[in-house]
Structure 1
């Protein structure tokens, strides 16, 4: 990508007050359900010819030589160079999958694992799930006997190590998109360093789209002699197909980047030559707002007789797959495409024809405050690395322009890279996994970026309170080990395991499954009132958990009908997914002999069971009109998407998570009794707190 072109100044869009409201998406780290699809400009060629057109093909023999001669190969390659789909095939063709061995490829995102596996299966003329397969949470599409190239999430790789600590079936493991530095990518990196010391034959490929390769190489290099010829790790760069990108900055900051995004888009459309536009925003609600504003302005422009039309398309994690795939559809020459996206468009997609990028300069990340023990989603300035990734989207198929909605001075102040998730997350799930893998002294674990000590202490305290660790910080039997086996937050796992004792395992299974799904309620921008009326039919005064239980039970009662979902503004695919997740969780409860029981419509056992898992997330209503956390008096508010919002506030509540915009908002909130906190978590709370 070309360096920023001098101090070029861009026009200053309007300065109306901020229009950013609370995001309504249940966002998982790294936009985990995003589709990863690469546009293929050589679709008319045979598959073999297509493979040979990719930049990585020229380095095929060099890659195989380095894998043969070094334990770890770090590959820097831009999105679209072919590393994800081709390198596993080169390894298979060179014999790395002989004698029953497997080449594994990890992805940070679930749907990335599925879509890349599908592409590789197509290229090999194989049925997906046979020679080429994938394994993600709640969905294993592999054949233990036949699968030789296996795509999986980094979290699933860590889970596999619970059964096979040395990963004996794998000959090569490729950690793809390692630059994203998700929690489980970093755990996998630390674990694989330990495995390599015991398995000199295991080869590791770390693939990254950014220039942090030296850190990965040095971390895995086991040569302590000072002689470079004895290095066990090496770096290789794959040049992508890139074109120069001119960068434009604002002369002064703007208070409302949504309005600026719309104005910038319309100005490009009216003044610039052909080329599609990609605009980056922070979340689903912002994307939908800007899409609506652009559609309105495009219609007004069409009425003035402008011949070139705009086709405006959203792109974010919670969007159904058919809607996501619309961004790749060709449009006539008389139409300019505008894609309004979250940061999933930074490295996960390459769309032909993007000539203009508009960068709002912000991103939504998960952040954990060990002082308050609150983990929340927060909008923060992007890093320089992310800003450059965004700009590079305009230079994939042609030279392009990037309009940054901030000043050059502000760009220089941005952090060099995004803080790894390991240093800004609640570490309870991490510590639980490491303990289950037999790593007792987690403080000495080889973290690529060590987490804050206070975060570790908070996590140990929570796991002790949940009964997962004993007073010596050892995993308890059987509870701790069982909590670790659930592919869920430890609080959900504890709630599920206790559900038999409360006589409501059927209801809790449904609630836990529903809480894993994004955006069950569909709110079309032009039908907000009708949607709200339908959604109120399911709402109960106890709060969001029982409301979600009502939605699912009504869905089942109406034979899981998509028509019924449409009439009630419910996410049909999300509810189908919830039923799949529920079945998987049910299998775990059967294995752990949790009794199958229903509370038969009595809400109290269900609410008490929720408290048994989520007691640490409790808050009390305060005379100021806000809630305050019980342990450290932190101010919280009920999220506008909650059924308890704008109702008479319950005195005590528990919640699933917190998101931060102008305030800290609790999401998925349920009313509880204070006596339940004392009864079910006496070790965590005491009378008078």
Structure 2
């Protein structure tokens, strides 16, 4: 075992300590109401509660209702409903574990508020939307998809009977494309608002505009409730017309926080050491949650933990290691919510997907390296880089709060207290650090009158907006006359696909090259996390197994070969295991592909196959990904064609040991250098065919 990490004396705090005090720092004239939820926070006189609906469905129903009544929010139910009944907009701050996410939509429905339409509850992440809908339908003793349902990308489990609908913010945005007034909904609950994902920020503006327009047109009012455990309440309240802020106390279990004595150079090593320190000392019933940055790190750490656990001395509990990340198939994600067998300890290794919304039973310890993977976009260079960076203080407190959901807990922060003090207070909203091409396409598809002046809570820089408009123009998606922007016919078709504009364009161009079947497969493969499993300890076996699929034309063609074999063998799981292919992710690819194909058929697109003709496929990719290209330099390095940014081929690429003259790529990963991932060999002439004016302009700029 590596040497142990030293932690100084504990620092105690209570979940929710990041919230303003009761007196608050709120602007004069804005009402701030504290809802007393009983619990350990207590205080105030207990009000008479309206009873929950009762049924005679037996002991199970009684147990569920008893559990709902035990949640801290129940003591505030009457007060909460009285306030929400009379408000168009409200900000609800509910401390971790208060029950706000599962109970608020049920209270509204049971209280007859919003029954004229559907109550929507948005979540930033797919796993949260599905697990919450499952939980609430269970509490309502109804089949999932009836009264309570969910909609996430490529999966709609709702019906005409659905009245409480959990959905990702991206899916509600897609619905707004066909109905900007959101007529189906009487209430929209925007949950986990502090996360400020790009979809959430756009949704704020869309919902606010729908609420205003419905009032102007004399239609059914739209109630908007913004919820979070921690966020800048002043900013949110002012944005939603000085909406009142309702504070809800939660179940506050004490949590000890430990910092390292010294900065940790290798956070993965430090996390591994900390997990096994805990594992050898704590009772088996106390589970551990570890935060890492992505699928590859999580899978590698999971394997290492399992290997070490096999060789621990007698007396140590057995270890059940469970990964958790967004692209993991839902059946595998569900395993983290199930109790461990007797004598086993659950060790859950997760991305920041586990920071919010979902409660994982049994978590006593949180291990937080303080890192997260986030996108940063540079509009000058056109590079969108996925880089590992420090979390904000808000994120750190969210992670710590996972340890105190059910009982007292402990959080090990793998950084010093001095380092923590230098963290940014809030996470920079994604809308200010990402490529806005998809956002602008969606806003134009919604017929927003002036996208340049869209009412963002945190406005992106003009450079980001102009770069997005320029990209859409190059893809042929929009026409511009002065400040007036409109979608072209191809732009409207691009907006119909739940994809990045460049991938939607690839599908729309594919009939011209007679390769729609192949492009659908490639785009679907790129829309989920890696379908390839690469255990570091079996590198030679992996290379031997993959050899028969490798194409000298790049990663896209290699993936296409793997998928074709998978499909021809009927999705054989043994074949997947032998060839180190993630069968679950492959099944997800097949589902995504079927839905994308349906969109093509609805547009009456011909869906042809190029069969063995791979040049047509590569030409199509060159014509849609021409803004993501790199050329070989005389010294053997690579530089992007448009901005001459130095880039390198990622070691995981099949082209790593090759030197093709010209490639297109679909992602850049920045670690110690800028790596291109998912490459395809193309001919430079195809790029000039795709966008002659674009490359002529770049050439003139390079010479001047």
Task: Report the TM-score range of the alignment, normalised by the length of the smaller protein.
Answer: 0.7 to 0.9
Alignment of 1:420-459 (within 5 A): 420-459=429-468
1:269 matched residue in structure 2: 279
Note if 1:682 corresponds to 2:702.
Answer: no
Cα separation, partners in 2 of 1:565 and 1:220, compared to 1, 3 Å: same
Q: Deviations over 1:565-595 (max 9, x none)?
A: 2332222222222222222212222232322
**Which of 496, 499, 522 in structure 2 is aligned with 1:485?**
496
State the shift of 1:552 in Å.
1.9
TM-superposed CA distance for 1:678, in Å, is 0.7
SS state at 2:361 partner: coil
| Structural mapping, 1:5-20, within 5 Å | 8=8
Q: Could you say which residue in structure 1 is the equivalent of 2:474?
A: 465
Deviating more after overlay: 87-96 vs 75-84: 75-84
Gaps of 5+ in 1: 1-6, 11-41, 222-230
Distance 1:358 1:98, change over 3 A: closer
CA distance change for structure 1 residues 190 and 566 in 2, over 3 Å: closer, same or farther?
A: same
2:675 is matched with which residue?
665
Moved more, 372-381 or 60-69: 60-69
Q: Does 1:207 align with 2:227?
A: yes
Q: Does 1:349 align with 2:366?
A: no
What secondary structure sits across from 2:470 in the alignment? helix
Aligned residue in 2 for 1:128: 144
2:180 touches 2:206 (CA, 8 Å); kept in 1? no
Helix, strand or coil: the match of 1:467?
Answer: coil
Q: How does 1:139-158 map to 2 (within 5 A)?
A: 139-143=155-159, 145-158=160-173
- d(CA) in 2 for partners of 1:478, 1:434: 15
Q: Per-residue displacement from partner, 1:269-305 (whole Å, max 9, x unpaired)? A: 3455663332222222222333333334433332xx4
Q: Aligned equivalents of 2:547 and 2:655: distance in 1?
A: 11
Per mean C-alpha deviation after superposition, the further-off stretch among 237-246 and 331-340 is 331-340
- The match for 1:138 among 129, 154, 158 is 154
Seen in structure 2, the aligned counterparts of structure 1 residues 440 and 307 have a Cα distance that, compared at 3 Å, is closer
What is the CA–CA distance in structure 1 between the aligned matches of 2:60 and 2:558, rounded to whole Å? 47
Deviation at 1:519, TM superposition (A): 1.8
CA distance in 1, matches of 2:174, 2:328: 28
Aligned 1:215-254 pairs, distance under 5 A: 215-221=235-241, 233-254=243-264
Partner of 1:384: 393
Instruction: Work out which of the residue numbers 154, 170, 186 in structure 2 matches 1:171.
Output: 186
In the superposition, relative to structure 1, how do residues 133 and 323 fare at CA in structure 2: closer, same or farther (>3 Å)?
A: closer
Question: Taking structure 1 as reference, are residues 379 and 46 closer, same or farther at Cα in structure 2, changes over 3 Å only?
Answer: same
Matching of residue 282 in structure 1 with residue 302 in structure 2: no
Query: 2:566, 2:629 → 1: CA distance?
Result: 30
Residue number in structure 2 paired with 1:159: 174
Matches of 1:581 and 1:43, distance apart in 2: 37
Three-state SS of the structure 1 residue aligned to 2:586 is helix
8 Å Cα contact 2:279-2:316 kept in structure 1: no
1:546 corresponds to 2:557? yes
Q: Where does 1:266-415 land on structure 2 (aligned, <5 Å)? A: 266-271=276-281, 275-302=286-313, 305-331=314-340, 334-415=343-424
**RMSD between aligned residues:** 2.3
Q: Which residue of 2 aligns with 1:56?
A: 73
In the alignment, what sits opposite 2:37?
none
**Is the alpha carbon distance of 1:480 and 1:307 closer, same or farther for their aligned partners in structure 2, counting shifts above 3 Å?**
closer
TM-score by length of 1: 0.88
CA distance in structure 1 between the aligned counterparts of 2:521 and 2:542, rounded to whole angstroms: 23
- For residues 153 and 261 of structure 1, what CA distance do their matches in structure 2 show? 31
Matched, 1:72 2:89: yes
Are residues 1:87 and 2:97 paired?
A: no
Deviations 1:115-147 (A, max 9, x none): 22222222222222222222222222222x322
Residue aligning to 1:506: 517
State the SS of the aligned residue for 1:499: helix
Number of residue equivalences:
637
Q: Distance in 2 between matches of 1:44 and 1:325?
A: 23
* Structure 1 residue 97 displacement after superposition: 4.7
Q: CA deviation at 1:410?
A: 0.8
Higher relative contact order (Cα pairs below 8 Å, separated by 6+ residues): 1
Task: Name the CA distance, whole Å, in 2 between partners of 1:554 and 1:567.
Answer: 13
Give per-residue Cα distances to partners, 1:388-419, cap 9 Å, x unaligned.
11222222222222222211111110000111
Query: Secondary structure at 1:500's aligned position in 2?
Result: helix
Are the structure 2 counterparts of residues 57 and 169 from structure 1 closer, same or farther at C-alpha, using a change threshold of 3 Å? same
